[in-house]
Structure 1
Amino acid sequence: MLDLIWNEQPGQEVIYQWVEWVQSSSLSYLGFDEEIILGPYEIIHTGDKRAISESVSPDVDIPSLKSYNDEQCHENFVKNFHECHICYSEYPGGDFIKLSRQHFFCWKCMETYVGITAREGTKTKLSCPEEKCEGVLPSGILRRLLGDEEFQRWETLVMQKTLASMSDVVYCPRCETTCCADEDNDAQCSKCFFSFCSLCSEKRHIGTSCMTPEMKLLVLQRREKEMINEILSVKEILRDAKQCPSCKMAISRTEGCNKMVCNNCGNYFCYRCNQKIDGYEHFKGECELFPQEMIQTWERANARMVEGQILADLFGGRGHPCPLCAQVNAKVGNNNHIFCWACGNHYCYLCKKIVKRGSNHYGPKGCKQHTEG
C-alpha cells in the first residue's frame, strides 16, 4: 500500500502521506478492529527489508517525525511574507510572534497589545489576541515583549491579584508577609512567627469573640464606602479624558492646544473631534487649534502683564518685588494692597507679606492699607 502511494506521485515528498495513511487507515487495512502492539524489537526479520527500522521504539520515532515536521514548517514560515491578523500589514515571517499554526501577529502589534494590557493590570493572564482563542502567552514571549523590569512588575501584579482573590489569604500586620488563615480566622506569620486574628489584625485571642455582627457590618460598610469613593474618583478623572483613536489609551488635556500626542503609541490626534491627524492641516477646518476660552485667558493675562510693566516703569521708585515670584510691581496711589500681575497673588507693600484676606491683614492691629509714599 505504501508502494502504491509512492507510485502515484513518483519523485515527490511522500513521508507525511505515509504517516497519515498509517495513522488513519492501516488498522482497517490489516483487518484489526481494536489496536495493534508494535514490537518486539531486536529480532531477525525475514520480510521486506524496507520495513526494518533501526529505531529503538515508536516512542522515539514518532516524536522525531513530529519535531522534524515542526522545524520544516517554521523554516517555511520564516522564509515567506505573511499578513498580520491585527494590522493587516505584510511582514517577513521573522517579524512575527507565532502563538500557534493559525494565530500569528507582527512584533509591533503584539508589543502594543501586551504593553497596554500589562499596564492596565485588569487581567491575571495574557491570552492570544485572536477572538475566542483561550491560548495563554508563554512567559518567555512575555518577557521578550515587556522587558525584564516590566515583566517583573507584571508577575508581581498577577501574584497580588491572585492572592487577593483567595479568601483565606491575609497579610501579617507586623511585616506584611502573606499568610493563610484557618477556619477560626487565626493565622501565624512564617517570617516573624506572629500569631494574629485575621479579622482585627490583633494578637490571637483564643476563646474570646473578635467582633460582634454589628461591628462586622460597620467594617463592611466602611470598606464598601472606600470602594465607592475610589470608583467615583476614577470616573471623575476619566470624565474629560479622550481615548487615543489608535490604541484606546485614555488621555486628558490640562492645558495647551488641541493637537495631542499619545505617549503610548506615538500617534497624533485632535482632542476636539478625537480623529487621528498628521501635522496641523486638520485645524484649518472646523476644529480650532486652541480653545476660545484659553485664547481669552491668554489675552487677559497679556493685557494685565502689559499694564503691570507700564506701571512699573512709570512708578519705578515705588516698586517692590513680589515675595512669591520676585516680579517688581508698582504702588499706584496710596493703596498698600498690591496685586502681582505675574503670579496673581496679593501682598502688602509695607510688610512685604502675602495677603490672603485684606480684612484680617489691614486694621488697627495690622498694617495700614492706605499711606502716602
Structure 2
Amino acid sequence: MIDYPRIPKPHIRKRLLECRFYARAFFKLSRDLEEIPPPFKLKLTNSVISGKGKLKEDPIFQNELEWVKKRVTEAPVHPEEALAEESDEQDCQEAGIGIECGCCFSSYPFDNMVQCPDAHLFCKSCMTSYSSTLLGEHNPNIICMDQSGCKLPFPESELKCFLTSKMLELYERVKQRKEIEAAGLENLEECPFCEYKCVIDNEMEKLFRCENVECGAVTCRACKRPDHLPKSCKEVKEDRHMDAQHQVEEAMTRALMRNCPKCQKAFIKEQGYNKMTCPNCHTLSCYICRQIITGYDHFDRPGQVGNKSNCILWEPSVERRHAEE
C-alpha cells in the first residue's frame, strides 16, 4: 500500500496472493499501472497507513525489499527487465493458469507434471526433491504423496520423465538390493568393494570373485580383505605394518563412523539425538555405546528416576565426542 497508494487494497491483496512473494507482486502491480485502462479504478487520494501494531521481523521479506530497492535505484522500474525472461512455470503462476502441483500448490504447464496411477499430479521439481530424499535413505518406494492418502507407486515410465541417468541407476540398484534382501536367499554374499552379490554354496571356497566389470575384486570370504592366499587371515593381520599417519587416519575414521550392530552398514551422525536409526535396516541403536536399543528408556534423561545409564539422549556438540574418541 505504501508502494502503490492509488491502487485499491483488494487488488493489492489479490496480486500478493497470486504472486506469493513481495518482489513479484511489486512488479506485477507496476505492470498493472501501465495498462490503459488499468484493471481497477484508481483511488482519488493516497492511502493513509496508520502504522498500528508491532513491526514483525521477516528476513525473507527484507531480502526481497532490498533487492527491489536495488533494482529501482539501478534502472527504471520495468517488470520484464526486473524479472528477466520468465519461464513457462512462472508465467503460469502469475497468470493463475496451468495445473496445480499437489505438493507445492504452484501452477505449471502439463508437460512439467508427473502423475501417479490415480492421476494425482506433481511438478518435476517437487518429485526430484522427494525422490532424492527417499533414495538417500535406501528406500526405492517412490509413492504418491497426495493429501488424499493415495499411496500408489509411480510407474518407471513416469520416473524416467524427471530422474537423471545417475538417479535412475541409483533407483535400480536400491530396488534390486531390497528385492534380494526380501527374497531371503541362503549363502548370499556381497562384495566388500561394491554392491555385487551372489550365492556361494561351496563351503570350501575361500575366495569371493566379484563379476562386476567395474570392480572385479577377488577377496577373502572370511576377513573380506583382498586375496591373501596362501597366508591365513591371522598372518595377514599380523603382517600389516602401517605408518603413524595411516594409523591416526584410521582411528579418526573409526571415531567418526558407526556400524549398525545388526546389518553392519556404516553411517555418520552430524548432529541431533543419540538414538540412531539405521538407514538400511532401520534398527535402533545408541550412538554412544553402539548397542541395539528398543526406545528412549535406554538413555539417562533429566528428571528420570531409576535409570543409571551413562548414555545421554542429546549432547550439544558431536564434534567434541569425535575429538575425544
State the TM-score, normalized to the length of structure 1. Answer: 0.28
Structure with greater contact order relative to length (CA < 8 Å, sep ≥ 6): 2
